[in-house]
A = this chain, B = another copy of it.
Amino acid sequence: MDRKLLLLGLLREHAMHGYGLVEFIDQALATCTDMKRATAYYLLNQMAEDGWIVETEMQEGNRPARRVFNLSDKGETIYQEMLRENLSSYTQPYFPSDIGLAFLDSLPAPEALRLLEQRVQGLESMLQAVQAAPTHPGSLQLVIEHQRRHLRAELAWLEEVMQNLV
């Protein structure tokens, strides 16, 4: 349900339509998260049906009308609840990349090193993408900053793992 919190939080700042939301997430938060168009429309429709958000059709010319969404009072209440719930606890992330590490010793050390070297390169380019990301106002920037920290910690950890292989 954290994706609903994300949508509510963004809509709370500006009323937006589905396409615009996805576009914003894609370019502003691309390094941290993603949300597919179909998912956003689905969640928005659901929240509209549940009365968390209200929709205003904005017709411009003859093109498909924009469905611009605003938080309702109910939506605001739920936003407040979800935000507090999210902030007060920590959801353990899942690291699929750890599974390979678990079986690292089933490979000869030189090959393991070579593969991890590739992983390091991937991490470095992710880090560069994050560094290059535009800054955002207020606490939205925390998400980017956290990602940057995380990637740096992962690099440091990998270097250590590789040291122990030599």
Contact yes or no, B100 A83, CB < 8 A: yes
Write the chain B residue with the least CB distance to A155. B90
Contact flags A128-148 to B (C-beta < 8 A → 1, else 0): 000000000011101100110
Chain A stretch 81-120: residues in CB contact (< 8 A) with chain B: 83-84, 86-107, 112, 115-116, 118-119
Question: Within 8 Å CB of A146, what residues of B?
Answer: 95, 98, 101, 157
Question: Within 8 Å CB of A6, what residues of B?
Answer: 99, 102
The yes or no answer to A49 lying at the interface (CB within 8 A) is no
Compute how far the CA of A161 lies from the CA of B123 in the bound complex, rounded to whole angstroms.
Answer: 24
Compute how far the CA of A89 lies from the CA of B101 in the bound complex, rounded to whole angstroms.
Answer: 11
A142: contacting residue among B3, B87, B98, B147, CB under 8 A: B98
Write the chain B residue with the least CB distance to A111. B84
Contact yes or no, B93 A138, CB < 8 A: no
A102: contacting residue among B91, B106, B140, CB under 8 A: B140
Chain A: residues with Cβ within 8 Å of the partner, total of: 53
Compute how far the CA of A44 lies from the CA of B143 in the bound complex, rounded to whole angstroms.
Answer: 38
Integer count of this chain's copies in the complex = 2
Chain A stretch 26-51: residues in CB contact (< 8 A) with chain B: 32-33
Question: Within 8 Å CB of A91, what residues of B?
Answer: 95-97
CB distance from A84 to the nearest CB of B (A): 6
Compute how far the CA of A153 lies from the CA of B6 in the bound complex, rounded to whole angstroms.
Answer: 24
Contact yes or no, A118 B88, CB < 8 A: yes
Residues of A within 8 A of B (CB): 2-3, 5-6, 9, 12, 32-33, 83-84, 86-107, 112, 115-116, 118-119, 122-123, 126, 138-140, 142-143, 146-147, 149-150, 153-154, 157, 161
